[in-house]
Amino acid sequence: MNFDPRFSGRKFASVGTRPIRPDGVDKVTGRARYGADFNMAGQLVGRVLRSPHAHAKILKIDISKAEKLNGVKAVITAKDLPDLTDGDAAMYDILDNCMARTKALYDGHAVAAVAAIDARTARQALKLIEVEYEILPHVTDVDEAMQYHAPLINDTIFTEGLEEKPVKPSNVTKRSQFGHGDVHQGFGHADFIVERSFKTEQTHQGYIEPHACVASVSSDGTAELWVCTQGHFVYRQHCAQLLGMEASKLRVTSSEIGGGFGGKTHVWAEPVALALSRKAGRPVKLVMTRDEVFRASGPTSATSIDVKIGARKDGTITAAEATLRYSAGPYAGSWAEIGAMTAFACYKLDNVKTVGYEVLVNRPKTAAYRAPSAPMAAFAVESAVDELAKELGMDPVDFRIKNAAQEGTRSSYGPVYGPIGIGPTLEAVKHHPHMKAPLKKNQGRGMACGFWFNFGGQTCVDLNIGMDGSVSLAVGTVDVGGSRASLSLVAAEELGIDYSQLKAIVADTSSLGYNDMTDGSRGTFSSSMATISAARNAIKILRERAAQMWDISVDDVIWEQGHAVAKREKHGNLGKLSLKEIAAQSGKTGGPIAGHSELVADGAGVSFATHICDIEVDPETGSTRVIRYTVVQDAGKAVHPTYVEGQYQGGAAQGIGWALNEEYIYGKDGRLQNAGFLDYRIPVCSDLPMIDTQILEIPNPNHPYGVRGVGETSIVPPLAAIANAVSNAAGVRMTHIPMSPPRILAAIEAERGE
């Protein structure tokens, strides 16, 4: 297939407009089917028994009483999920996380599960399962876990990435390093140096829809799974591998998704539901409670970060260095590594060095959360950059403009940038009216920048033209933010037809080729590329059919605004044939008309944003109020601007919650204290102002329309922007996220010397 993905700079008819999304009406009327809305005849209720201990050896599990309870159809433990991972360490971790094998590694770790005829029976059965634990010492804090005498979570872990293999196991699974130049020398040339340590607490994506699935394993060994996920193809692979099935024998259908943000990229309940169904011989529905979602899905890392930045009097940064420690939960991850890559990505630096440490703790396994790892690194770096600007007596925006990366800059994590948006977002912020708006007493303004890589990956799209000329588009990237609308716009653009003539769906795993999951802001970027390619393939067939109908050479047929047009110089009297007219004759001209595309979408353009916010602090209580918030971000090309703005606002809203109140609070016993939305405080509507957005469009040269991913970058700057605003309002530098009222009040009083 000859598909040219390069940016062409065309004019758009559909792309850039704002039609209603195809999934909109069903969502607002309650008809849309989410994970828990699938049901099957004879379906059982699955429930999971979870460890109440942060760290414990499982000595014995007695399920005999539970099995005897009337209405219980299956009880499973790790024995029912034998190890088929064949040396794949990452898959083994997933298996162990789904069902603890020898040790419970965190409060909430699954140890057994039941399937029963109703929820009450299932709950009773859980109480009848007897688990004998030997409680082990635990550690939940990232810094404490790195201490020499910290309780060991896995004694087979020896830190990777060191010059010599350590002699002793530890909770540090890996050290990674990025950068170039010589920071020691760079700091020698600095007139001013800021050096600070920061902490951020663990947060959860806080998606409204809990994990839910229905699993049905047939007696012939084939199975179906209906599930709320960001990637049904990936779920299929993982579940098939863990259960010893061939992937093609497991058909996975993704439901509508009530939020994922990276948290629905991993399997937790699904292999358990399949194992229960296999044992019971009946379909099993497994829906997590909110408590289970907090305790046993995949929150982001807690971090501890040291930053040092030096600059000359003229405002040139001479060196920048950071050490980043990220908690990974009880299994190895690469979270600090990503943090170390993104930390200084906004800047043009001659001397830069970042070191990341992945740290095991007795908390749930860390999963991706919207631009995973980047917000915490940006909080530390952008706080220090702000402080350095103050010391230099420079405006914080001008200081950043002076040091901003640009096309040709070698990034702090290695690659050389193409055309990028950091400079333009900063210039836009500099001239934004928000920056000049007056502030009242106890109010402070902050701004900060953020970066995210974006991702492309494997993608497959089918575009089918019906005999009535309407078009169905089947994509394999789960729609988490309006991508069905955006992809319909793209198909309409290519075909030259109206948006209303199209209907896009997310196809199941047996109906379409493999797709990577919707992560890395890839949904619209990669699937639009495949949609363009599929549409162009369909157009080729449409031209062939028109040529047949006219009985002329296909080379004499061009495609223009939804019509086949015969070249005028040769066939001036032929007029044109609409897509509809060609489709109507398709039975006689060679059968159904379709376009397919399978590709790896390379060249996802990196994305930058700059945010501004105003915060009011009550100096007597430490209470905060977000007064005004502005997001400026590069979208490459906004296919559906409303949903681009929605992504900007959503990232900012999540960042505001993270910055001000959200945190996992563990007791001394290692148990999570606030596994619910009452005491895990995501913002409510009245906590937020209307978030203002400004879309910049600096085309991605590697996409036909210039599209870049937009979903994640918006959560990168908020922690830092808000910290800078609070620090300015309160008159004291805040270094611990979330900046909850008790932390702010304590900082204000410490500053006053009280």
Partner 1 sequence: MRYIRPLSIEDAVGQLAGSAGISAILAGGSDLLVRMKGGFVEPDLIVDIKSIAGLSDIRETADGFSIGAAVPCAVLGENAALKKSWPGVVEAAKLIGSKQVQGRCTITGNLCNASPAADSVPALVAAGAKAVIAGPSGKRTIAVEAVPTAPGKTSLAKGEIIEAILLDKRSPRSGDAYLRFIPRTEMDIAVVSAGVNLTIDEHGVVTAARVALGAAAPTVLLVEEAAEALIGRKLDEAALERLAKVCAGACRPIDDKRGTIEFRRKVAGVLARRAATTAYARAGGK
Exposed, middle or buried by CB within 10 Å (0-12, 13-18, 19+), for 674?
middle
Q: SS in 3 state form for 118-135?
A: CHHHHHHHHHHCEEEEEE
Both tokens assigned to 576:
């044109």
Stretch that binds partner 1, among 30-38, 162-170, 699-707, 738-746 (CB under 8 A): 738-746
Q: Which residues 6+ apart lie within 8 Å of 109 measured at CB?
A: 50, 51, 97, 100, 296, 364
Chain residues 279-298 in contact with partner 1, contact rule CB under 8 A: 291
The distance of closest approach from Cβ of residue 127 to partner 1 in the complex, given in angstroms and rounded to an integer, is: 10
Strand-pair category, 736-737 with 192-200 = parallel
Residue from 108, 231, 622, 706 that binds partner 1 (CB under 8 A)? Answer: 622
Instruction: Give whichever of 151 and 741 is closer to partner 1, judged by the CB atom.
Output: 741
The distance of closest approach from Cβ of residue 719 to partner 1 in the complex, given in angstroms and rounded to an integer, is: 16
At residue 143, what are phi and psi to the nearest 5 degrees? -70, -40
The distance of closest approach from Cβ of residue 618 to partner 1 in the complex, given in angstroms and rounded to an integer, is: 9
Integer Cα distance of 529 and 533 in angstroms:
6
The distance of closest approach from Cβ of residue 676 to partner 1 in the complex, given in angstroms and rounded to an integer, is: 9
Q: Is residue 751 involved in binding partner 1 (CB under 8 A)?
A: no
Q: Is residue 746 involved in binding partner 1 (CB under 8 A)?
A: yes
Instruction: Give whichever of 4 and 620 is closer to partner 1, judged by the CB atom.
Output: 620
* SS3 assignment, position 491: helix
Stretch that binds partner 1, among 555-563, 636-644, 680-688, 708-716 (CB under 8 A): 680-688
Both tokens assigned to 754:
């009280």
Task: For residue 227, give the nearest of 285, 280, 298, 294 by alpha carbon.
Answer: 285
Instruction: Give whichever of 382 and 662 is closer to partner 1, judged by the CB atom.
Output: 662
Residue from 2, 29, 219, 686 that binds partner 1 (CB under 8 A)? Answer: 686
Integer Cα distance of 614 and 388 in angstroms:
20
Both tokens assigned to 261:
């943000």
Q: Is residue 741 involved in binding partner 1 (CB under 8 A)?
A: yes
Residue from 339, 396, 446, 683 that binds partner 1 (CB under 8 A)? Answer: 683
Site string for partner 1, 650-679 (x = CB under 8 A): ----------xx---x-------xx---xx
The distance of closest approach from Cβ of residue 738 to partner 1 in the complex, given in angstroms and rounded to an integer, is: 9
Query: How many residues make contact with partner 1 (CB under 8 A)?
Result: 23
Instruction: Give whichever of 484 and 671 is closer to partner 1, judged by the CB atom.
Output: 671
Residue from 316, 472, 548, 623 that binds partner 1 (CB under 8 A)? Answer: 623
DSSP calls for 166-184: -SS--SEEEEEEEEES-HH
Integer Cα distance of 488 and 639 in angstroms:
10
Site string for partner 1, 188-227 (x = CB under 8 A): ----------------------------------------
Instruction: Give whichever of 302 and 639 is closer to partner 1, judged by the CB atom.
Output: 302
The distance of closest approach from Cβ of residue 68 to partner 1 in the complex, given in angstroms and rounded to an integer, is: 22
Task: For residue 452, give the nearest of 120, 713, 177, 187 by alpha carbon.
Answer: 713
Q: Is residue 442 involved in binding partner 1 (CB under 8 A)?
A: no
Integer Cα distance of 172 and 147 in angstroms:
10
Instruction: Give whichever of 288 and 635 is closer to partner 1, judged by the CB atom.
Output: 288
Instruction: Give whichever of 130 and 749 is closer to partner 1, judged by the CB atom.
Output: 749
Residue from 155, 246, 569, 620 that binds partner 1 (CB under 8 A)? Answer: 620
The distance of closest approach from Cβ of residue 621 to partner 1 in the complex, given in angstroms and rounded to an integer, is: 5
Tally of CA atoms within 13 A in the half-sphere of 252 that contains its CB:
31
Q: Is residue 1 involved in binding partner 1 (CB under 8 A)?
A: no
Integer Cα distance of 575 and 577 in angstroms:
7
Q: Which residues 6+ apart lie within 8 Å of 166 measured at CB?
A: 158, 159
Beta strands in 201-275 (DSSP E): 212-217, 223-227, 250-254
Contacts to partner 1 by CB under 8 A: 123, 291, 620-623, 660-661, 665, 673-674, 678-679, 681, 683-684, 686-687, 740-742, 745-746
